[in-house]
């Protein structure tokens, strides 16, 4: 495998996904995002909508509801664990294909042994993120403040559960960029030029 | 005032000071480091050697010894507080002079209202830092591991005491760079091109 694998971890509303796509475009390499969800769905047999949500977020209960009890007949793993193992496999396979950008889904941890890895964390101040989630995902009954808090909390809990590390601790990344301060374009430029 | 003021906070042994000097050289602007200590010494009447150590580190006791009791005749401030207030004044005066790089000394917090501020945090993995402090500062009776732990702890405690914020939390910075992974030259390039 030649070239770099760039993983982008990001706070909700920090434009990490957009920055990842821009970096991939600048470098002419793929940005994996929904492909991961689709492939994990195929491998695990679990609906893509559930994987989208549960592949990097841990709910308060930390477990699926009894809707999926069928799986318990085949395995003593929780559905979260089934998704996790499928996700690890899919992300490793994608990285083997060559240089790419992977957004979220603990790819920084999953690919940590890879010598060509560049690990990025994108974050921003709360005001900029609140504005962004309303613009991008629309209004909800819950306040933007609460939506940020819940999502950050569930991503951090998921990361902690499967990596035993603290999400957003600079030590786990090569570079951390404040997109609210530097701007989305500048962040993409910096990463593409690494 | 035109141009940027770049503050560089750094973990001990992460080469933050070296990177700061390289950035200043690339941009043709001053890098303030020992000047701050000298000017704080003049303003406070406290010996430069003490300021060097106490202007960004908090000891276990958190206070000077009774060597400096003279100051207590004039002020009910601790010597740490006297140094802090002199340091705030000196750093604000230096920033008023124009674009510059300021390494450490809570300059990111002191100048937080400045619209032209770029706040950088330099960190690195422990192995690279241990190797660096032995190469740069030489061997000591204490292990490199302990020297790193003590220095990081005292810097974090100082930062917390005077800023009420967590030292090294990405949210306080615009960009955080892992010098052990990216390399010193690359870090200096990224900052100079911001």
- Residue A74: predicted pLDDT: 52
Q: Which two tokens stand for residue B133?
A: 């402090």
The answer to whether residue A34 scores a pLDDT higher than 50 is: yes
**Phi, psi angle pair for A177, to nearest 5°:** -120, 135
The answer to whether residue A20 scores a pLDDT higher than 60 is: yes
Place of tokens 């962040």: A187
| CB pair distance less than 8 Å for A171 and B125 | yes
Q: Are B19 and B8 in contact (CB under 8 A)?
A: yes
Give the one of B170, B174, B190 whose C-beta lies nearest to A170's C-beta: B170
The answer to whether residue A177 scores a pLDDT higher than 50 is: yes
What does the pLDDT average to over A172-186? 97
A173 in contact with chain B, both atoms CB, cutoff 8 A: yes
Residue A105's CB: how many other CB atoms inside 10 A? 25
> Residue B8: beta bridge partners?
B103, B120
DSSP-derived letter for residue B68 is G
| Helix axes B79-96 and B34-44, enclosed angle (nearest 10) | 120
- Residue A62: predicted pLDDT: 43
From chain A, the residues in CB contact with B191 under 8 A are none
Which segment of A72-76, A178-182, B80-84 scores lowest on mean pLDDT?
A72-76
Closest chain B CA to residue A126:
B171
A167 in contact with chain B, both atoms CB, cutoff 8 A: no
Question: Residue A122: how many CA atoms within 13 Å on its side-chain side?
Answer: 31
Confidence label for A57 from pLDDT (cuts 50, 70 and 90): confident
d(CA B117, CA A182): 11
The answer to whether residue B33 scores a pLDDT higher than 90 is: no
What does the pLDDT average to over A41-59? 77
Confidence label for A59 from pLDDT (cuts 50, 70 and 90): low
A156 in contact with chain B, both atoms CB, cutoff 8 A: no
What percentage of chain A reaches a pLDDT higher than 70?
90
The answer to whether residue A28 scores a pLDDT higher than 50 is: yes
Q: Show the DSSP H helices in chain B as ranges.
A: 16-27, 34-44, 48-54, 70-74, 79-96, 107-110, 126-137, 144-163, 179-182, 184-192
Query: Is the model more confident about A74 or about A166?
Result: A166
The answer to whether residue B73 scores a pLDDT higher than 60 is: no
From chain B, the residues in CB contact with A182 under 8 A are 174-175, 194
B190 in contact with chain A, both atoms CB, cutoff 8 A: yes
Helix (H/G/I), strand (E/B), else coil: B34: helix
Q: What is the complex's ipTM, to 2 decimals?
A: 0.86
Q: Which tens digit of pLDDT belongs to each residue from B3-32?
A: 799 999 999 999 999 999 999 999 999 999
Place of tokens 């530097």: A182
Taken in order A180, A183, A188, A194, is the CA torsion positive or negative?
Answer: negative
- Residue B47: predicted pLDDT: 80
The answer to whether residue A112 scores a pLDDT higher than 90 is: yes
| CB pair distance less than 8 Å for A194 and B186 | yes
The answer to whether residue A83 scores a pLDDT higher than 80 is: yes
Confidence label for A18 from pLDDT (cuts 50, 70 and 90): very high
What percentage of chain A reaches a pLDDT higher than 90?
60
Confidence label for A75 from pLDDT (cuts 50, 70 and 90): low
- Residue A30: predicted pLDDT: 95
Query: Is the model more confident about B41 or about B31?
Result: B31
| CB pair distance less than 8 Å for B174 and A178 | yes
Confidence label for B67 from pLDDT (cuts 50, 70 and 90): very low
B48 in contact with chain A, both atoms CB, cutoff 8 A: no
Q: Which tens digit of pLDDT belongs to each residue from B165-182?
A: 888 899 999 999 999 999
Q: Are B111 and B32 in contact (CB under 8 A)?
A: no
What percentage of chain B reaches a pLDDT higher than 70?
90
d(CA B36, CA A126): 33
**Phi, psi angle pair for A178, to nearest 5°:** -90, 100
Q: Which two tokens stand for residue B37?
A: 């200590």
């Amino acid at each position: 495998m030649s070239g770099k694998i760039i993983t982008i971890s990001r706070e909700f509303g920090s434009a990490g996904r957009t920055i990842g796509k821009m970096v991939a475009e600048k470098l002419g390499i793929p940005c994996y995002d929904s492909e991961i969800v689709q492939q994990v769905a195929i491998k695990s047999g679990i609906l893509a909508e559930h994987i989208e949500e549960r592949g990097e977020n841990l709910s308060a209960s930390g477990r699926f509801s009894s809707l999926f009890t069928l799986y318990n007949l085949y395995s003593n793993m929780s559905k979260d664990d089934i998704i996790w193992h499928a996700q690890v496999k899919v992300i490793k396979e994608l990285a083997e294909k060559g240089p790419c950008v992977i957004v979220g889904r603990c790819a920084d941890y999953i690919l940590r042994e890879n010598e060509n890895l560049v690990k990025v964390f994108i974050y921003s101040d709360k005001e900029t993120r609140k504005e962004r989630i309303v613009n991008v995902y629309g209004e909800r009954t819950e306040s933007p403040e609460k939506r940020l808090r819940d999502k950050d909390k569930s991503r951090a809990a998921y990361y902690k559960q499967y990596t035993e590390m603290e999400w957003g601790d600079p030590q786990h990344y090569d570079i951390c960029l404040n997109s609210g301060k530097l701007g989305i374009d500048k962040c993409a430029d910096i990463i593409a030029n690494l």
